[in-house]
Structure 1
Amino acid sequence: RVSGKMGVVFTSTGTAAGNAAGAQVEALTAGTSLLHITSTVDVAFADRDRAPIHDVPRQPEMLKGISKAYVRMWSAGGAIGALTAAVSAAISAPAGPVSLEIPVDVQRTPMPAASAVFAPVPQRPAASEAALDALAAMILSARRPMLWLGGGARGAEAEAEELVRRGFAAVTSTQGRGVVAEDNPANLGAFNMTPEAQALYLRSDFMLVVGSRLRGNETLNNKMRLPRPLAQIDAEPSQGGRNYPVDLFVHGDAAVTLRGLLARLPETLDVDPNMAFEVATARAQSEGALRSRLGPYEAVAEALTERVSAGRLPWVRDVTISNSTFGNRYVRVAEPRLGVHALGGGIGQGVAMGIGAALATDTKAVVLLGDGGTQLGIAEMITAVEENAPLVYVLMNDKAYGVIRNIQDAQYDSRYHYSALHTPDFAAHCAAIGLPHRVIRDVDDFAGALDAALAAEGPQLIEIDMIAIGPFAESFAGPPAGAAGKVA
């Protein structure tokens, strides 16, 4: 996800293939190019439920459920074709993880010699000329046009920036951050659901959604009012109008489609000159409101954003209260691929994702964790030490599943169940595996500790004792919960 290149993972049959499922769901949700090569029992036994060792009779169904595509290599003669099909699907828009299943006996069979093997070329759907003409006409009639940029717009940075230069305002999903520079005054960033953002949408007269699913947790479960007309560009045709009815859907790759659109638009659009100022004001107000909710942790957020942005560091976040409050929006990323979060909402994947991000760049990754999520992925810290991964874990320790506890406060009259944790002694854990550790009990000490950790070699862990420091100024009780309300 960080390198922009296809990742490859190997597992063996059955339980091992299942062990990859959680991470592969995250790759599927994030649109990550990934090739998962796994095995199955000999061809004569596959899909027959004859109980050979490691057999999972419906393993293909499991793999299909967590993959963009599934391919089985039935014979050594079909090896090149199967591998080409799998790689092509993984790297073509919309990208995603592909599972390639190879029976054990096929793995042992010599492959016929090939005169040459060529790397697949990514396939990028091109929008029709008529669709581009219609989209350009919509834009030319708008005075206050906006872009909503999602993760599918990664790779279209130059085109999106040019649309903003010509007069568009921009807002992004969390996954789309950095497609337009986060310090561009015409960019709301991921402050996409604040009262100030919603007021801006009501004053806009056109929105173009590029590569975004308009996810429920960023649109008040699809109830937030967006500008009309509403147009959408997506490489996946079935996404057209799925979460919001659209006035125009354009099927195409983001970068290719936006280039075709720019060719149909003037160098400067006839737009309201106040629009950019209003966007900058709305972002400043949104950021100010967020800071007021942080309490003592404003110092932590400020120290992180200064170093992550200026250092062009990967910014990796597990599912934590701290990420939901300031990590997803306030800490600015220097470019799209440097922002990594658990898009699928799975707690505990941040420890491992941080290692991948660190090894994909020549800089140090900064990884935001909670104590609950860390316990789910704690074994991977050994991998970080073993690989000497250049990263800094920032572990926010409130000795609880904090967000679950806050939900129980907000919706269940503080009836707590399974939100209290038997939190380990992280200092002892780090000492046992050889991971340098420091605990922070005063937020004024954090910036210096972060600088020291960034300057040190290999992995480092900074534990922030939230019990000693105190709570946020305002509790975070989870994303919009659909029909769930307060339970009597």
Structure 2
Amino acid sequence: LARRLGAPVITTVMGRGAITERDPLWHGVLPNGRATDAVIRAADVILAVGCRFAHRSTQGLLLNLSFSASQTLIHLDLDPTVLGRLFKPQLGIVGDARDGLTRILQSLGPGHPRDGWDHRWRAELRGAANARYTAPTARLIETLRAALPDDAIVVNDQTGINYWMEWRFPVLLPRTFLYPVGSATLGYGVPAAIGAKIARPDRPVICVVGDGGFMYSVNELATAVKYRLPVVFLVMNDDRYGAIKWLQQTLFEGRWGETNLTNPDFPALARAFGARGERVDGVESLGSAIRSALAAEGPTVLELPMAIDPPWGL
């Protein structure tokens, strides 16, 4: 449908992979306001498919989404209670996404897309980043993507790098980017990665988790060892609840409390469970460490000492 219309595609975090992000029609991810806000404001018609317009994507720290009176909003969703909950559509359609899109495409019939978008402008928007997106953060994300095959399942816990990965890590296939959307739960990553590997034993699986989140569910390493699951757990260690500490310092004039952590030796802890454990000295060594871990039998814990602040600007 997007190709028939020549329309750029924006996804929520949960919708990433619905279209490969190598496709020139893919534009960006909510709530990355720098990439998406201008395109949404420039559109005369917005088609929302399976989108709840949840607060985290549309009304929060990074984006305050709104539609003008001159714009037409069409909202397709299987759940009728979602339609009009936050934004009243000019046309609401209750139905399955695949079936609904197929019927809309059929109703349009054959034809040529109206290519009214400035592709250079869109490319500039996609590449725009604020000053908080530092070169080390960009290198880390580029290294992760280069070390993983396209079909690898990337399981995110809630930690500094994952806030950036929400819209900066390229997602190339459906159902390959798992994220604790909604309640931003610490401790989600380890059990979710184990579940993903059991469900898809043919796919490489990596869990990207902070030191605080890893300690929430580190006991599940015993399960990964028991079933000899070759899952890679990349532990980003900054010896703190980094995002929480940043919020405290930002909101309370530099004051913070109870957010520094006393951590174990993570590689030694992994070996105590019967898993492989390795400390990675820097991003330049990470790619080869991930590739070796993916080829190993059983789980591997890779510890990368690195602090990354979240992208918010309060």
Question: How high is the TM-score relative to the length of structure 2?
Answer: 0.91
Q: Could you tell me how far apart the structure 1 residues matched to 2:75 and 2:121 are?
A: 24
What is the aligned counterpart of 1:343 among 171, 177, 181?
A: 181
- Structure 2 unaligned residues grouped into runs of 5+: none
What is the aligned counterpart of 1:224 among 54, 58, 65?
A: 65
Q: Could you tell me how far apart the structure 2 residues matched to 1:213 and 1:404 are?
A: 27
Cα 1:281/1:263, change in 2 over 3 Å: same
Cα 1:172/1:377, change in 2 over 3 Å: same
Do the aligned residues in 2 keep the contact of 1:389 with 1:458 (CA within 8 Å)?
yes
Q: Could you tell me how far apart the structure 1 residues matched to 2:58 and 2:16 are?
A: 16
Q: Could you tell me how far apart the structure 1 residues matched to 2:147 and 2:22 are?
A: 15
What is the aligned counterpart of 2:90 among 236, 247, 258?
A: 247
Q: Could you tell me how far apart the structure 2 residues matched to 1:443 and 1:341 are?
A: 23
Cα 1:291/1:254, change in 2 over 3 Å: farther
> Is the partner of 1:306 in helix, strand or coil?
helix
Single out whichever of 259-268 and 271-280 deviates more from structure 2: 271-280
Q: Could you tell me how far apart the structure 2 residues matched to 1:377 and 1:223 are?
A: 34
Q: Could you tell me how far apart the structure 1 residues matched to 2:2 and 2:130 are?
A: 28
Which structure ranks higher in relative contact order (CA pairs < 8 Å, sequence separation ≥ 6)? 2
Q: Which has the larger radius of gyration?
A: 1
- Structure 1 unaligned residues grouped into runs of 5+: 1-161
1:175 aligns with 2:14: yes
Query: Which residue of the partner structure matches residue 329 of structure 1?
Result: 167
After TM superposition, list the pairs within 5 Å mapping 1:476-487 onto structure 2: 476=310
Do the aligned residues in 2 keep the contact of 1:317 with 1:323 (CA within 8 Å)?
yes
1:399 aligns with 2:239: yes
Deviation readout 1:78-107 (Å, 9 max, x if unpaired): xxxxxxxxxxxxxxxxxxxxxxxxxxxxxx
Do the aligned residues in 2 keep the contact of 1:316 with 1:367 (CA within 8 Å)?
yes
- The alpha carbon displacement at 1:414 in A equals 2.2
Q: Could you tell me how far apart the structure 2 residues matched to 1:433 and 1:248 are?
A: 55
- The alpha carbon displacement at 1:349 in A equals 1.1
Query: Which residue of the partner structure matches residue 215 of structure 1?
Result: 54
After TM superposition, list the pairs within 5 Å mapping 1:89-488 onto structure 2: 162-190=1-29, 192-221=31-60, 223-226=64-67, 228-283=71-126, 285-286=127-128, 289=129, 293-308=133-148, 310-325=149-164, 327-344=165-182, 345-361=184-200, 362-466=202-306, 471-472=307-308, 475-476=309-310
- The alpha carbon displacement at 1:246 in A equals 1.6
Q: Could you tell me how far apart the structure 1 residues matched to 2:214 and 2:99 are?
A: 40
- The alpha carbon displacement at 1:193 in A equals 2.8
Q: Could you tell me how far apart the structure 1 residues matched to 2:277 and 2:134 are?
A: 25
Q: Could you tell me how far apart the structure 2 residues matched to 1:384 and 1:170 are?
A: 37
Q: How many residues align?
A: 308
Structure 1 segments of 4+ aligned residues over 6 angstroms from their partners? none
Q: Could you tell me how far apart the structure 1 residues matched to 2:159 and 2:96 are?
A: 33
Q: Could you tell me how far apart the structure 2 residues matched to 1:201 and 1:477 are?
A: 21
Cα 1:302/1:292, change in 2 over 3 Å: farther
Q: Could you tell me how far apart the structure 2 residues matched to 1:404 and 1:226 are?
A: 32
Q: Could you tell me how far apart the structure 1 residues matched to 2:57 and 2:119 are?
A: 22
Do the aligned residues in 1 keep the contact of 2:12 with 2:29 (CA within 8 Å)?
yes
> Is the partner of 1:240 in helix, strand or coil?
coil
Single out whichever of 231-240 and 341-350 deviates more from structure 2: 341-350
Do the aligned residues in 2 keep the contact of 1:210 with 1:232 (CA within 8 Å)?
yes
- The alpha carbon displacement at 1:198 in A equals 1.1
Q: Could you tell me how far apart the structure 2 residues matched to 1:389 and 1:212 are?
A: 34
- The alpha carbon displacement at 1:187 in A equals 0.8
Amino acid at match of 1:215: A
> Is the partner of 2:139 in helix, strand or coil?
helix
Do the aligned residues in 2 keep the contact of 1:366 with 1:393 (CA within 8 Å)?
yes
Cα 1:415/1:371, change in 2 over 3 Å: same
Query: Which residue of the partner structure matches residue 150 of structure 1?
Result: none
Deviation readout 1:408-450 (Å, 9 max, x if unpaired): 1110122212211222221221121111111122221111111
Do the aligned residues in 2 keep the contact of 1:187 with 1:280 (CA within 8 Å)?
no
Question: How high is the TM-score relative to the length of structure 1?
Answer: 0.60
> Is the partner of 1:168 in helix, strand or coil?
coil
> Is the partner of 1:243 in helix, strand or coil?
coil
Q: Could you tell me how far apart the structure 2 residues matched to 1:452 and 1:294 are?
A: 27
Do the aligned residues in 2 keep the contact of 1:323 with 1:368 (CA within 8 Å)?
yes
- The alpha carbon displacement at 1:226 in A equals 3.9
Amino acid at match of 2:152: L
